[in-house]
Structure 1
Amino acid sequence: MHQIAERLWCAVLEQVARTCVVVLGHGAQGIRNHNAGFGVFAPFTDTTEQQFEEMVNVHLKGAFFLTPKLLPLMADGGRILNVSSGLTRFSHPGYAAYAVMKGGVEVLTRYLAAELGARRIAVNTLAPGAIETDFGGGAVRDNADLNASIAKSTPLGRVGVPDDIGGAAAALLSGGSGWINGQRIEVAGGIHG
């Protein structure tokens, strides 16, 4: 049964890789590698093994095993951008499991940067802070008190919006960012600086 599940997983990864190439074009110079994710808001002691394993599968296993499937489709000199979280640098109770997963993505980024250097493929991590999205049930976007609290703690005086992250991602995937490699770039408006 395990071999069947493994073959199915590989088939899914191959299809995702082919889909990415269709969207980005053969030999695409930049591929945002991993932005899949979900969070578990629970104290460390209340996080279940099942929740933890599901997060490993999505956050770590997905990034680790999708990347080799995409590499043959990438041109030398390309870019890979993994997505982490500001929560790997600043700690808020209830997010330990999520932060551990994203910390793993950051470590993976450094190793990929070292191993893919011969092909001049730059690999970096983008680590957003609190952003007004659907993530976490839209709490940052929809809870006015939470939004105001985060904005008050942020030197730029507001919570991030998707365009803040999109612009940073585009910059890291651009041709002018080729010398940035193996780095964690936080896009959080300076919160907890």
Structure 2
Amino acid sequence: MSLNTIALITGGNRGLGRATALKLAEAGTDVIVTYRSNKDEAAEVVDAVTALGRRAVALELDTTAFDTFAAFAVAVRDALETTWERDTFDFLVNNAGVAAATPVGETTVEAFDLLVNVHFKGVFFLTQSLLPLLADGGRVVNLSTGLTRFVGEGWSVYASLKSAIETWSKYLAKELGGRGVSVNAVAPGPIATDFGGGAIRDNEQLREHLGSQAALGRVGVPEDIGAVIAALLAPGTGWITGQRIEASGGTLL
């Protein structure tokens, strides 16, 4: 693997993706961040990474537009050649996500399909499209959720799809092992971001309630998860593969 490592982070313009990009940049990794619609946010992340002395590129990507993945792979290849004079990148972080509550008896087909497309189908086929560009000895981190272990009412579809991601991560680890590629799933607990309308970030009462359920006595912040992902991608942790790593502050132990 090149000493000058490159990470591709989906949904890297905000929240956990942005925090991961900055933590990786602090550790000496260059980044490609994707964004779906907010180009200005992505540009701000590129500027922040550049200010840390690393190189960064922002590329537009809708992870539900499956027929664009081949063209996106070409765009990644072009960016690698132009910016880094390389034809591979080292780390893939499948972070892009969307929230939608799915209470039993009230869930629409549209909400169900959106969650499937973003959190499983899109991750599967995007990764498949990018594998030829992932360097041997590289690493993949898929984002899961603490809700695959503890139950939050109304999140059954989201949590079930993340369970699928955890299972798929094990299979992918097995299939890519011959290339020296490790694959793991990181499962955040409650985090104060704009995810799901920013309820945890903006509602102090909810934050206190959820924090009281954690052994460490608080909800997480994006930097907590960014640091965990950066640690999984640091030199010396490549022997970890096929694992679910929960980062929840000890929620509901």
TM-score, normalised relative to structure 1? 0.89
Higher strand share: 2
Q: Deviations over 1:39-89 (max 9, x none)?
A: 222312211222111111111111110111111111110000000100111
Higher RCO (Cα < 8 Å, 6 or more apart) = 1
**Correspondent of 1:109 among 169, 188, 191:** 169
- Structure 2 distance, partners of 1:65, 1:73, is 14
- Structure 2 distance, partners of 1:15, 1:109, is 25
List gaps (5 residues or longer) in structure 1.
1-7
Specify the code of the residue in structure 1 equivalent to 2:124: F
CA contact (8 A) 1:30 1:174 kept: no
CA contact (8 A) 2:66 2:126 kept: no
**Correspondent of 1:14 among 30, 49, 70:** 70
SS at match of 2:136: coil
Identity %: 48
- Structure 2 distance, partners of 1:155, 1:59, is 28
TM-score, normalised relative to structure 2? 0.69
Q: Deviations over 1:169-191 (max 9, x none)?
A: 11111221111000010010011
Pairs within 5 Å for 1:1-193? 9-10=66-67, 12-20=68-76, 22=79, 26-32=87-93, 34-193=94-253
Specify the code of the residue in structure 1 equivalent to 2:113: E
CA contact (8 A) 2:95 2:142 kept: yes
RMSD: 1.7
CA contact (8 A) 2:102 2:111 kept: no
- Structure 2 distance, partners of 1:192, 1:131, is 15
Aligned length: 184
Higher helix share: 1
